[in-house]
């Protein structure tokens, strides 16, 4: 039976980046490290790309080779011990897709999230009724149990917006997300009220790109750009598509999606005008 692939965590990515930095600082290639430590070059690649957490003896061998002393050595060892922990996850999340649980873990530790949605209300702003209707529609073959697990996970994710130091959320959506009546008028009316209330929160910014804006940079699809409290933790992009979930963290990708989001902010209605539009559409649903 194949070993289940370890999904990345913020700490695992930080550990991988630190080990890459140390190796390059020692002016060693992966092949040189392999020759001097006996660590397989493929294994080293997986460690340095946050595919796996290094075993203790492997980590110590690398730190010895890179001549890392205390206190840095102790900090790296401690980081490694916690690198496999996705602290936010509930026990039942083991039944959710691996990429989704990784996303939940990243989101729980993020400082800020920039989210563009072309067809849906952003997950962090969805009501339970809307979430259930969306999940049923998107996953028509899912069992009732699977649907309820996903609904529960989506609602629990929203705790990041209510904690003492809440996540900063900047959500932009196409007007189509507001116009599509998901779950019926009652569900949609409740959802629109949630949006209006969320728009008044100081740590949330909500904008809508009106139909009148014409073609825009977000039309190819939705994406999430997450940033983290520590400077050492690079931003990460998450894309959810029918072809599968995708994480991007290359600097070029982060710059490109950051520029796209800035462009979308510019063509969208202002937060105040967005609130007025949501209020108007809410009255129409009644």
Mean pLDDT, all residues of the chain: 88
3.30.870, 3.30.2000, 2.60.40, 3.30.70: which CATH number matches 91-285? 3.30.870
Question: Is residue 231 pLDDT above 80, yes or no?
Answer: no
Mean pLDDT for 146-170 is 95
Residue 262 reports pLDDT greater than 80: yes
Q: What is the mean pLDDT of the segment spanning 198-226?
A: 97
Confidence of residue 178 (pLDDT cuts 50, 70, 90): very high
Q: Which residue has the higher pLDDT, 94 or 4?
A: 94
Task: Report the C-alpha gap between 237 and 51 in whole angstroms.
Answer: 17
CA dist 115 and 225 (Å) reads 6
The domain 10-81 having CATH identifier 1.10.260.40: the answer here is yes
Structure tokens at 66: 């890179």
Asked if the model's pLDDT at residue 149 lies above 50, the reply is yes
| The pLDDT of residue 4 | 44
Q: What are phi and psi of 208, to 5 degrees?
A: -125, 135
The DSSP string of 173-226 is EEHHHHHS--S-HHHHHHHHHHHHHHTTSTTEEEEEE-GGG-S-TTTT--EEEE
What distances in angstroms separate CA 120 from CA 138, 238, 258, one per listed residue? 11, 16, 20
**Which residues, other chains included, contact 71 with Cβ-Cβ below 8 Å and sequence gap of 6+?**
none
Say if residue 73's pLDDT is above 60: yes
Percent of the chain exceeding pLDDT 90 equals 55
- Under the banding of pLDDT at 50, 70 and 90, the label for residue 1 is very low
Residue 7 in this model has a pLDDT that exceeds 60: no
Domain boundaries, the chain: 10-81, 91-285
- The 10s digit of each residue's pLDDT in 24-62 is 889 989 999 899 999 988 888 888 877 788 888 999 999
In degrees, rounded to 5, the angle at the alpha carbon of residue 95 between the alpha carbons of residues 113 and 177 is 40
Name the most confidently modeled range: 34-38, 210-214, 236-240. 210-214
pTM of the model: 0.77
Q: Is the pLDDT of residue 11 over 90?
A: no
The fraction of the chain above a pLDDT of 70, given in percent, is: 90
């Amino acid at each position: 039976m194949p070993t289940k692939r370890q999904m990345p965590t913020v700490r695992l990515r930080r550990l991988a980046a630190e080990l890459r930095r140390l190796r390059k600082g020692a002016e060693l290639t992966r092949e040189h490290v392999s020759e001097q430590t006996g660590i397989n070059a493929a294994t080293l690649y997986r460690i340095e790309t946050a595919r796996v957490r290094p075993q203790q003896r492997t980590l110590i061998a690398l730190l010895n080779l890179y001549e890392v002393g205390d206190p840095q050595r102790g900090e790296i060892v401690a980081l490694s011990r916690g690198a496999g922990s996705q602290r936010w996850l509930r026990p039942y999340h083991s039944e959710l897709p691996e990429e989704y649980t990784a996303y939940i873990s990243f989101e729980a530790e993020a400082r800020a999230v920039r989210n563009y949605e072309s067809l849906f209300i952003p997950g962090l702003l969805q009501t339970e009724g809307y979430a259930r209707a969306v999940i049923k529609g998107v996953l028509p073959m899912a069992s009732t149990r699977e649907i309820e697990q996903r609904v529960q996970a989506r609602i629990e994710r929203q705790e990041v917006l209510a904690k003492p130091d809440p996540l900063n959320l900047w959500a932009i959506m196409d007007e189509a997300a507001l116009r599509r009546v998901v779950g019926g008028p009652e569900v949609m009316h409740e959802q629109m009220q949630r949006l209006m209330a969320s728009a008044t929160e100081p740590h949330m910014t909500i904008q809508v790109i009106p139909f009148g804006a014409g073609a825009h940079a977000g039309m190819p699809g939705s994406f999430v750009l997450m940033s983290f409290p520590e400077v050492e933790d690079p931003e990460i992009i998450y894309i959810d598509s029918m072809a599968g979930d995708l994480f991007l963290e290359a600097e070029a990708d982060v710059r490109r999606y950051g520029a796209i989001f800035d462009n979308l902010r510019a063509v969208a209605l202002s937060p105040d005008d967005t609130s007025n539009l949501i209020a108007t559409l809410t009255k129409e649903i009644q």
